[in-house]
Structure 1
Amino acid sequence: MLENSLVMVTIILVINIVYVSFFTIRMILTLKGQRYTAAAISTVEVVIYVVGLGLVLDNLNQIQNLIAYALGYGIGVIVGTKIEDKLALGYITVHVITKEYDRDLPRILREKGYGVTSWAANGLEGDRMALQILTPRKFELRLYETIKEQDPKAFIIAYEPKTIYGGFWVKNVKKGKLFRNEQKNKEKNI
């Protein structure tokens, strides 16, 4: 009897982790405008949901099943967001304000394949450079490292744009300059 209860708790826990992971990824895809992929995922998601909920409702007198369901839900949120972090879907726009006016930073970033628009700015303590940089999310951390190497005191703020249209950089992304740079870096590390 105890062994069957443990098996049921484990099944419910795993089903809910998988269900909520799918749910989280589907929601993120929906927000990023990938509605057809999100719809395909939701088809699988709803089957998993119905099976898991059915197991709990059929055995509602067993409190451990309800606890497993709730615990699986919480763990599923964490797993789903970790998966999305690894997938790094979409793009980010990064605004940078340098400590001092630095003509080299935009050039260095462009050579690495980032889309950069820069202009002169004036802060409380004098001349600065403001940059707006567009990059796929998967290159976000490397971008921050490059900026901090050049200007450790740079002010950096990032957000996700909803729509990207036109511009020189969009064509370069399709040509894969950033992705080629990624491959070169991997080859150097081997």
Structure 2
Amino acid sequence: MLESGIVMLLIILCVNIVYVSLLTVRMIFTFKGKRYLAATIGVFEITVYTLGLGLVLENLDAIQNLVAYALGFGIGVISGMKIEEKLAIGYITVNIISSDPEIPFTETLRAKGYGVTSWYAYGMEGDRLAVQVLTPRKYELMLYDTIKEIDPKAFIIAYEPRQIFGGFWVKKVKGSKLRREEEEIQSQ
């Protein structure tokens, strides 16, 4: 079966897609501090990698095998990123600067279940409301939509915190209202 050129190309392509997808996911788990899960994925990753590389090295006389390997690598990067987007592991902190401090930003976000800290600030064009929100990454896009509904002119900066200790978020929120809102959106 491996003697067939097209079958060989497809196997090499698929093996490398799987390998690089596993590599991407393992790296993400490593960065998130999930060492045992990352190590487990790493075992499968290196097994697939060795298999794919062995197939290419055994057949170096056929340039199409190397091309399939490289193409599989590129596709694997994209698929690994898609998998990571679907997993949406961890949390995101979103800093918002409202264009108008009178907009009921804090109350609206809290009513939707977000943990919010806000304070008044002064920007280049006058008074502003600065808001900081911590949410699970899976609710990130829903949060952006909510922010745009509240204030389409809001300035938004987002980043991932490495550690979270204490505070309202750890005590109460845990996404309960956010899950209900997500379910409502999906049912529409």
Aligned to 2:113, what secondary structure does the other structure show? coil
C-alpha separation in 1, matches of 2:101 and 2:72? 51
C-alpha separation in 1, matches of 2:145 and 2:131? 15
The RMSD of aligned alpha carbons is 1.6
Name segments (4+ residues, structure 1) moved above 6 Å.
Answer: none
Aligned to 1:165, what secondary structure does the other structure show? coil
Q: What is the match of residue 81 of structure 1?
A: 81
Conserved in 1, the CA contact under 8 Å of 2:136 and 2:175? no
Which 10-residue stretch deviates more, 17-26 or 175-184?
Answer: 175-184
Is 2:53 aligned against 1:53?
Answer: yes
Against the structure 1 CA distance between its residues 26 and 51, is the aligned structure 2 distance closer, same or farther, given a 3 Å change threshold? Answer: same
C-alpha separation in 1, matches of 2:100 and 2:122? 10
C-alpha separation in 2, matches of 1:13 and 1:44? 17
Aligned to 2:4, what secondary structure does the other structure show? helix
TM-score by length of 2: 0.94
Q: What is the match of residue 140 of structure 2?
A: 140
Alpha-carbon deviation of 1:181? 2.8
Q: What is the match of residue 42 of structure 1?
A: 42
TM-score by length of 1: 0.93
Q: What is the match of residue 24 of structure 1?
A: 24
Which runs of 5 or more structure 2 residues have no equivalent in the other structure?
none
Aligned to 2:38, what secondary structure does the other structure show? helix
Q: What is the match of residue 149 of structure 1?
A: 149
Alpha-carbon deviation of 1:126? 1.3
Matches for 1:1-190 after TM superposition, within 5 Å: 4-102=4-102, 104-174=104-174, 176-187=176-187, 189=188
Alpha-carbon deviation of 1:31? 0.3
Alpha-carbon deviation of 1:135? 0.6
Which 10-residue stretch deviates more, 177-186 or 162-171?
Answer: 177-186
